[in-house]
Structure 1
C-alpha cells in the first residue's frame, strides 16, 4: 500500500500573514517579506506534523492510493480523511495493462475518521493477481486556510510559532510538540480501541 500526495500546496495557500500577526512581527518596513520563506517552511512543517498526528488532510488536495489487495471487498476504509470526492479507480494487471472502473457504480461513505469506498450492494472489483488498484481522491477540510476548523488552524499557527521560536534548538525537548497543540488536535486523532492501543 502506498499513499502519494499528487500536488504540493502552493506558497499562496500558506497563511504567512496570519503567522506574522501571531508572532507579532513588525510591519511597515521596507523588508517586510524578508522572513516569508522561513515562515512558509515552518508552516509547511506544522501542517505536516498536525496531519501526521491526526491522520487528516487539512487543506484540500489530490491523493493517489495504490494497493495490491482489498482488506474487505464489501468496502474499504480510505487512508486519510476527510475525503471530499472520488476522482478515479484504475485496476492494473501484472503486465501493466490498465482498466478504468466507472466510479458511478460506487459511493463515498463520508466519515470524519474513516471514510469508505462502498460498492452498491455488491463487492469491490477483483484486483488482478500481481496487479494493483489505484484510487485517486480529493481530501481535506477546506481549500483555503481560513476555512479550516478554528482549533486546527490555531494548532498549526501555535506549532509553526514554536518551530520559529526554537529554530536554533538541536536537542529534542520534552514531548517535542507543545501541550497546547496536542490538546487542540486531540479530538481529531483516530480512536484506537483494543489491546496495545
Structure 2
C-alpha cells in the first residue's frame, strides 16, 4: 500500500498573515514579505507533522492510494481521514494494462479515525500477483483554513513557531513536539491497540 499527495496545498491556502501575527513580527518597514518563503516552509512542515501524527488530512486535497493486496475481501481500512469522495479507480493487471472501475463500485463507511472502503456487492477486486488498484480520493477536514477546528489550526501555528524559534538548533530529538501542541492534537490521534495495550 502506498499513499501520495496528488494536489499539494497551495501557498495561498496557508495562514501566512496569521502566522506572522502569532510570531509578533513587525510590520510597516517596507520589507514585510522578506521572510514569506521561509515562514511558508515552516507552516508546511508543521502541517505535515501534525497530519502524520494524527493520521488526518487537514486541508482538503487529492491523494493517490495504490493497493497491491488486501488483508480481507469484504472491506479495507483507508489510510487517512476524513475521506470526502472517491474520484477514480483504475485496476492494473500484472502486465500493467489498465481498466477503469466505476467509483460506484465502492462505498466509504465514514469514521473520524479510520474510514473503511467497502464493495457495493460481492468482494473487493481480486488483485493477482503483480496487479494493483489505484484509487484517487479527496480527503481533508476543511476546504479552507477557516474551516478547520480551532484547536488544530492553533496547533499548526504553535508548531510552526517552534520550528521557527529553533531553526538553527540541531540538537533537538527527532520526535520532539511541544507539550502544548501534543495536548491540542491528542484527541485527534488514532487509537492503536496491540498486545492488550492502547497506544
Q: CA deviation at 1:105?
A: 2.9
Confirm whether residue 13 of structure 1 aligns to residue 38 of structure 2: no
- What's 2:96 paired with? 96
Q: TM-score, with normalisation over the residues of structure 2?
A: 0.94
Q: CA deviation at 1:70?
A: 1.4
Gaps of 5+ in 2: none
CA distance in 1, matches of 2:6, 2:12: 18
CA distance in 1, matches of 2:168, 2:45: 15
Aligned length: 197
Q: CA deviation at 1:175?
A: 6.0
Confirm whether residue 57 of structure 1 aligns to residue 66 of structure 2: no
Aligned runs of 1:1-197 on 2, under 5 Å?
1-173=1-173, 176-195=176-195, 197=199
Q: CA deviation at 1:73?
A: 1.3
Q: CA deviation at 1:185?
A: 0.4
CA contact (8 A) 1:91 1:128 kept: no
Q: CA deviation at 1:129?
A: 2.8
Q: Which runs of 4+ in 1 moved over 3 A?
A: none
Q: CA deviation at 1:194?
A: 2.6
CA contact (8 A) 1:74 1:118 kept: yes
Please report the RMSD computed on the Cα atoms of aligned residues, expressed in angstroms: 1.5
Gaps of 5+ in 1: none
CA contact (8 A) 1:75 1:119 kept: yes
Q: CA deviation at 1:120?
A: 2.2
